[in-house]
Amino acid sequence: MADAGHVDLVRERIERWNDWRRKNTRIVPDLSGADLTELDLSGANFAKSDLSGARLSGANLSGANLSRAKLFRADLSLADLSRANLFKANLSQADLGGANLNRADLSSAFLIRANLSGASLLESCLKEANLGQASLFRSQMAKAILRLTSFFKSDLTGADLSGTDLRGANFQEAVLEETCLRGANAAGANLCFATLLRTDLEGAVLDNCAVYGTSLWEIHSEGSSQLDLDIMPAQQPVLSVDSLQTAQLVGLLLHHERARDEVFAVTLNTVLVIGRFPDERRDVLEAVKDALRRGGHSPLVLDFHLPGSGDKNEIVKTLGRMSRFVVADLTGDRRIAETLDAVVHFLPSIPIQPIGQAGAEPPAESHYPKYRWVLPFWRFRGAADLAARFGRDVVDPAERKAAEIRQKLSFGV
């Protein structure tokens, strides 16, 4: 129960309340369950106060200091919290329906299972906030800072997140039905098992997102960037593609055997790239991907440097069969050549181009067995040399070999 003296102080004049707070810094105000409906509390100092279960519906809390305050299950519906300081405040299960939180600081705040339906959070800061299982139905969050924010299992149906900073945000199992993410930067976000139905992604940045199990229906993604999307579950080897649609298709083929058998006959424009690419060799990987993209191909990258306990042989065999051709960089890791040795005979209709960086060990060209669909080993001196010659010396021969194989197959050879 609230301290009656504290409630009376709040109800008198905010200037007197703030003066009392300055003189009594060691006292934690207890306003739990207090009825402060529609009061003018603008600029009030409620830092670290206990407002659990308090009734603040329609109250004016603009510019108030509520940092680290306890607002668990508080009623803040239709309240004005514009420019309020809610840093690390506990708003879990609070009712913020229709509230004005424009330009408020909610960084690191707890809003687990909070109701923010119809709330306005324009240009607010929710960096590292936890909105797990919160309702954000038709909320307005344009240009908000949502970096590393958790929306785990949240309902964002009809919400406006246009122009927001969503880098590293967690949308796992979230509902993004008719959500507007136009122009948002969601690079590195977790979209695993999220539902994207008629979601507006026009001009959004989704590079390096985790998209395992993501469900897509009627999305609008014109002008968006979707590079290096990871389609594998946690603790598995990282496997990246360059579009949400490809991620959904490849994920279906990789994780559902019956569907895989039915569509393997379809030739995709993807090229499987396998190799070991630590930080000092990222420029090589980027040169390979850029060269493939310039030629209209979609790189599918399996990086042996990244951790993962899955069966890489099976992954290479499966993905190789659905690729236009395979590029295998044997530099720096004998496991890559061993993986190719184990699967090469399963890919008789897929051109395989082994490559390696000069002066690095391995590769050893003689280690790799020769098959008619395996192209001659190709060496490059570095990223710049690779970028200059890759299209002419690797992509073009691989395409010619693919055409040759298709022609022979058509004649039953």
Asked, for residue 171, whether it belongs to a domain, the answer is no
- Which residue spans within 132-226 are E strands per DSSP? 195-197, 215-217
Asked, for residue 232, whether it belongs to a domain, the answer is no
Asked, for residue 244, whether it belongs to a domain, the answer is no
The enclosing domain of 353 has a CATH number of 3.40.50.360
Asked, for residue 329, whether it belongs to a domain, the answer is yes
Number of domains making up the chain: 1
State the sign of the Cα–Cα–Cα–Cα dihedral 220, 273, 352, 386. Answer: positive
Pairwise CA distance, residues 17 & 9, whole Å: 6
Asked, for residue 218, whether it belongs to a domain, the answer is no
Asked, for residue 397, whether it belongs to a domain, the answer is yes
Q: CA-CA distances (angstroms) from residue 128 to 65, 176, 189, 291, 361?
A: 19, 19, 13, 37, 43
Asked, for residue 283, whether it belongs to a domain, the answer is yes
Per residue of the chain (413 residues), give pLDDT as tens: 788 999 999 998 899 999 999 999 999 999 999 999 999 999 999 999 999 999 999 999 999 999 999 999 999 999 999 999 999 999 999 999 999 999 999 999 999 999 999 999 999 999 999 999 999 999 999 999 999 999 999 999 999 999 999 999 999 999 999 999 999 999 999 999 999 999 999 999 999 999 998 999 999 999 999 999 998 887 777 788 888 988 887 777 776 666 555 555 445 688 999 999 999 999 999 999 999 999 889 899 999 887 765 678 888 988 888 889 999 999 988 888 888 888 888 888 899 999 999 877 655 554 555 788 999 999 999 999 999 999 999 999 999 998 888 777 655 55
Question: Could you tell me the residue range of the domain that residue 344 belongs to?
Answer: 267-410
- Residue written as token pair 């499966």: 318
Phi, psi of 35, deg, nearest 5? -95, 105
Asked, for residue 107, whether it belongs to a domain, the answer is no
Which DSSP string do the residues of 240-292 spell out, in sequence order?
EES-HHHHHHHHHHHH-HHHHHHHTTSPPSEEEEEE---GGGHHHHHHHHHHH
Query: Residue 274: how many CB atoms within 10 A of its CB?
Result: 26
